[in-house]
């Protein structure tokens, strides 16, 4: 049964990734068609074509390697200023010059008479901006929808003031996980006779409704006396004890340890549906943390490379789709997991993935969407400045000049993908 659940988690996650990629490409294709751009291909995946069908001038299909997708927008690169569309200048010298010329020539393979005004580069800058932003924006919308389904529809496990378990002895966080010994002190909760199922109603006369409030009161109490009012099976009972002091992880800085008041109880958790405002807050937090991940991705890749060849794999390090699929399988097949928890895990993972894809694609470098977005914005600035100064129109931005950078970035992305996939196969991230 566990193996079947694992496979189910992997399959569902892969399908979710494929759908996300497909919708990302729709985000480019739909506005492109609306603005009259000629679209000849729409594919999910790379490599050999598995299936395709032609509808009008566009071929739709699936490729063998489901690690991305593409939409062929005709005329992404403008022709050379001194050459007719579809021709190569005979005076090309140098590898990069020839590379750019070949790319221009290939760009006009599908151009037919009458397509001049349907070429992508000839569209207004704001149309190009909408077309190239469409894909990442769709991923953001997907992330919002999935986070909404998770937090508003299913809810979040929130700790309550009802006790789930009572610790027999006081063990510092640094030694968490070991069994109690005869030298370990008895916890104040155990000494006071608190039991699982008890609901703490007040602490030293302060009424508590949330676990975080109770935690703060306990931590601030030090070794002082504590009067605890509980509800046990409908009866109100008062317990008195003295909290102890124990080394615990700081709530404000997880890297620090501090001596705080300690009682020795853990809370039960209940699913509580959240508001749209909560979804917005989570999106903001995830966006901030994801940007941090992207900024530090090069140095994190160094750690992944070391892990691929025998080093220790970071639990919070970057993963490929292969690694994320394994995590999805482990989440779904974990013992004692309910179907609601399984659905929540997949939704959360896919939502986070879509947000990452969106923000990563906004990086202003070719061949990412952000490179074309930057080109459209630069065209708007350059043409607008020329109009203000009464200068001649500088024309369209020639993104072909950035092709050497695009090939370099593309090669780097391929290398990163290979390293990540290899690391996820030989030394995967494991859930704890």
Q: Tell me how far apart the alpha carbons of residues 356 and 321 are, in angstroms, rounded to a whole number.
A: 12
pLDDT of residue 33: 96
Stretch among 166-175, 263-272, 377-386 having the lowest mean pLDDT: 166-175
pLDDT of residue 91: 47
Instruction: Report which secondary-structure segment, H or E, holds 404.
Output: helix 403-426
pLDDT of residue 176: 72
Buried b (16+ CB within 10 A) or exposed e, 175-190: eeeeeeeeeeeebbbb
pLDDT of residue 87: 47
Backbone phi, psi, residue 202, to 5°? -155, 155
pLDDT of residue 1: 65
pLDDT of residue 99: 66
Q: 145 by DSSP, 3-state: which?
A: helix
Is 201 a residue of the active site? no
Domains (ranges, CATH) in the chain?
A: 158-272 (2.30.42.10)
Write down the mean pLDDT value for the chain: 88
Q: Tell me how far apart the alpha carbons of residues 72 and 140 are, in angstroms, rounded to a whole number.
A: 22
Q: Tell me how far apart the alpha carbons of residues 43 and 121 are, in angstroms, rounded to a whole number.
A: 21
pLDDT of residue 198: 93
Q: 328, 116 in Cβ contact below 8 A?
A: no
First to last CA, the chain: 21
Q: Tell me how far apart the alpha carbons of residues 381 and 191 are, in angstroms, rounded to a whole number.
A: 72
What is the arithmetic mean of pLDDT over 413-419? 92
Q: Tell me how far apart the alpha carbons of residues 318 and 122 are, in angstroms, rounded to a whole number.
A: 39
Q: For 180-195, write each residue's pLDDT tens digit.
A: 888 888 899 999 999 9
What is the arithmetic mean of pLDDT over 76-101? 61
pLDDT of residue 254: 75
What is the arithmetic mean of pLDDT over 222-250? 91
Buried b (16+ CB within 10 A) or exposed e, 54-93: eeeebbeeebeebbbbbbbbbbbbbbbeeeebeeeeeeee
Q: Tell me how far apart the alpha carbons of residues 73 and 399 are, in angstroms, rounded to a whole number.
A: 14
Q: For 206-225, write each residue's pLDDT tens digit.
A: 999 999 999 999 999 999 99
C-alpha separations of 380 from 76, 127, 369, 377, 387 in Å:
17, 11, 17, 5, 11
What is the arithmetic mean of pLDDT over 113-125? 89
pLDDT of residue 311: 84
Is residue 174 scored above 90 in pLDDT? no
pLDDT of residue 27: 96
pLDDT confidence bin for 335, thresholds 50/70/90:
confident
pLDDT of residue 404: 86
pLDDT of residue 112: 82
Q: Tell me how far apart the alpha carbons of residues 243 and 221 are, in angstroms, rounded to a whole number.
A: 7
Q: Which position among 25, 107, 330, 379 bears the catalytic label?
A: 25
pLDDT of residue 286: 93
Is residue 97 scored above 80 in pLDDT? no
What is the arithmetic mean of pLDDT over 117-137? 94
Tell me the DSSP string of 257-304.
EEEEEE--EEEEEEEE---HHHHHHHHHHHHHHHHHHHHTHHHHHHHH
Q: Which residues pair with 206 in a beta bridge?
A: 203
pLDDT of residue 85: 46
CA dihedral 123, 126, 128, 129 (to 10 degrees): 170
Is residue 86 scored above 50 in pLDDT? no
Q: For 36-46, write each residue's pLDDT tens digit.
A: 999 999 999 88
pLDDT confidence bin for 105, thresholds 50/70/90:
confident
């Amino acid at each position: 049964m566990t193996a079947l659940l694992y496979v189910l988690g992997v399959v569902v996650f892969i399908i979710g990734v494929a759908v996300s990629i497909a919708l990302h490409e729709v985000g480019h294709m739909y506005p492109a068609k609306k603005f009259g751009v000629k679209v000849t291909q729409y594919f999910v995946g790379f490599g050999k074509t598995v299936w395709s069908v032609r509808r009008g001038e566009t071929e739709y299909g699936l490729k063998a390697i489901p690690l991305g997708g593409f939409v062929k927008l005709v005329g992404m690169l403008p022709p050379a200023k001194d050459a007719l569309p579809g021709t190569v200048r005979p005076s090309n010298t140098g590898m990069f010059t020839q590379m750019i010329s070949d790319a221009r020539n290939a760009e006009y393979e599908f151009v037919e008479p009458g397509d001049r005004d349907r070429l992508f580069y000839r569209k207004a800058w704001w149309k190009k901006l909408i077309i190239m932003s469409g894909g990442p924006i769709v991923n953001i919308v997907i992330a919002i929808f999935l986070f909404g389904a998770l937090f508003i529809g299913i809810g979040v496990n929130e700790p309550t003031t009802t006790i789930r378990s009572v610790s027999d002895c006081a063990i510092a966080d640094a030694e968490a996980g070991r069994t109690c010994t005869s030298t370990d002190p008895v916890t104040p909760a155990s000494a006071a006779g608190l039991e699982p199922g008890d609901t703490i109603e007040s602490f030293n006369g302060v009424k508590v409704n949330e676990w975080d409030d109770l935690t703060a009161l306990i931590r601030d109490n030090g070794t002082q006396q504590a009067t605890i009012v509980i509800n046990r099976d409908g009866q109100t009972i008062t317990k008195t004890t003295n909290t102890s002091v124990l080394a615990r992880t700081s709530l404000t800085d997880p890297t620090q340890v501090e001596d705080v008041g300690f009682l020795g109880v853990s809370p039960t958790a209940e699913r509580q549906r959240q508001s749209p405002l909560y979804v917005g807050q989570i999106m903001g937090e995830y966006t901030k943390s994801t940007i941090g991940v992207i900024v530090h991705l090069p140095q994190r890749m160094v750690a992944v490379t070391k892990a691929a060849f025998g080093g220790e794999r970071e639990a919070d390090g970057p993963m490929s789709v292969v690694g994320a699929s394994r995590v999805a399988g482990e989440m779904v097949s974990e013992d004692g997991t309910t179907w609601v928890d399984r659905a929540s895990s997949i939704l959360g993972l896919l939502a986070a993935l879509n947000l990452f894809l969106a923000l990563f694609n906004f990086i202003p470098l070719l061949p990412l969407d952000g490179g074309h977005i930057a080109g459209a914005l630069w065209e708007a600035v350059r043409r607008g400045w020329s109009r203000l100064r009464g200068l001649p129109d500088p024309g369209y931005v020639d993104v072909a000049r950035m092709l050497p950078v695009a090939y370099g970035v593309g090669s780097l992305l391929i290398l990163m993908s290979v390293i990540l996939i290899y690391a996820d196969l030989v030394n995967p991230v494991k859930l704890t």
